[in-house]
């Protein structure tokens, strides 16, 4: 059902099952897949693609132009994956031509009130952002990362899969997968044991990750020495291999 006060451009493509609440505005070149629910006073700007079964609550801004001084009105995009929930007053911006041209939100994200996802960010599946968490431009959050309330993450930072960032943290370097980070500036505080157990990681995998974490971050080896040792001793564990690859591919440096 589309409320009679909603304003929907003729060039928007909404599935017939989409619902739109009072006073919402949907502009041209927007695509919304089946089963998605749009609340009241929502603005969905042009060149936005919203997947199936999403829930967008009141007063959300989706697909607005990026907050980037170099942006000159180029055609850029925002894509929101299936099953994502976007709570009140959240803001999600399109990409920039100089940053890849697209902002991508993965499937089944849970984005709480007042969060901000800036231009050219990418989130994986099952990412959680608590109230007032903010992603600056060009950030990547891998699958099942959790970002606490009032967290601010610097441009170009990567957040690894299953990582947990505690509330009110300021993050300026990459957060490795599987860990807990917190503080201003953020530092590591061990493995995300609770989160990993909830996601069904085996005891053997957790023990391997714990051992790898200790070697890399806690016994005083250089990063290269630690990675070489971990690879030799536990390189057959896929999660440990993923941890090593993440660290080796970091350009901003790793939170420690």
SS3 37: strand
Cα 148 from chain centre? 12
Quick check: is 119 catalytic? Answer: yes
Handedness of CA 230, 231, 237, 240 (dihedral sign): positive
- Taking the C-alpha atoms of residue 18 and residue 187, their distance in angstroms, rounded to an integer, is 43
Cis peptide before 20 (omega within 30 of 0): no
Query: Quick one: DSSP state of residue 73?
Result: S
Catalytic residue among 95, 124, 137, 195: 137
- Conformation bin of residue 252: beta by default, left when phi > 0, alpha when psi is -120 to 50: alpha
Query: Which residue in 131, 196, 115, 184 sits closest to 160, CA to CA?
Result: 196
Asked if 244 and 237 count as a contact pair (C-beta separation under 8 A), the reply is no
Helix (H) / strand (E) containing 246: helix 238-248
Catalytic residue among 45, 49, 120, 174: 120
Quick check: is 120 catalytic? Answer: yes
Quick check: is 106 catalytic? Answer: no
CB-hemisphere CA count at 13 Å for 88?
2
48, exposed or middle or buried, with CB in 10 Å at 0-12, 13-18, 19+?
A: buried
- Taking the C-alpha atoms of residue 24 and residue 82, their distance in angstroms, rounded to an integer, is 21
Catalytic residue among 119, 144, 160, 195: 119
Query: Which residue in 236, 239, 53, 220 sits closest to 160, CA to CA?
Result: 239
Residues with catalytic annotation? Answer: 119-120, 137
């Amino acid at each position: 059902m589309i409320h009679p006060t909603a304003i929907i451009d003729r060039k928007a493509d909404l599935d017939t099952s989409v619902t739109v609440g009072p006073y919402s505005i949907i502009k041209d070149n927007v695509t919304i897949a089946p089963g998605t629910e749009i609340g009241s006073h929502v603005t969905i700007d042009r060149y936005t693609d919203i997947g199936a079964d999403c829930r967008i609550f009141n007063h959300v801004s989706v697909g607005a132009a990026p907050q980037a001084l170099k942006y000159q009105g180029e055609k850029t995009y925002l894509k929101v994956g299936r099953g994502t929930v976007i709570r009140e007053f959240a803001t999600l911006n399109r990409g920039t031509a100089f940053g890849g041209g697209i902002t991508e939100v993965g499937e089944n994200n849970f984005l709480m009130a007042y969060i901000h996802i800036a231009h050219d960010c990418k989130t994986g599946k099952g990412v959680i952002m608590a109230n007032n968490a903010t992603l600056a431009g060009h950030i990547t959050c891998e699958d099942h990362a959790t970002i606490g309330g009032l967290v601010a993450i610097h441009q170009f930072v990567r957040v690894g899969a299953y990582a947990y960032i505690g509330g009110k943290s300021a993050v300026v370097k990459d957060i490795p997968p599987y860990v807990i980070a917190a503080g201003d500036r953020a530092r590591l505080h061990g493995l995300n044991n609770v989160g990993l157990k909830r996601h069904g990681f085996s005891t053997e995998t957790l023990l391997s990750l714990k051992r790898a974490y200790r070697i890399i971050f806690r016994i005083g080896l250089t990063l290269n020495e630690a990675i070489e040792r971990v690879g030799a001793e536990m390189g057959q564990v896929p999660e440990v291999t993923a941890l090593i690859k993440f660290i080796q591919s970091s350009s901003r440096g790793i939170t420690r």
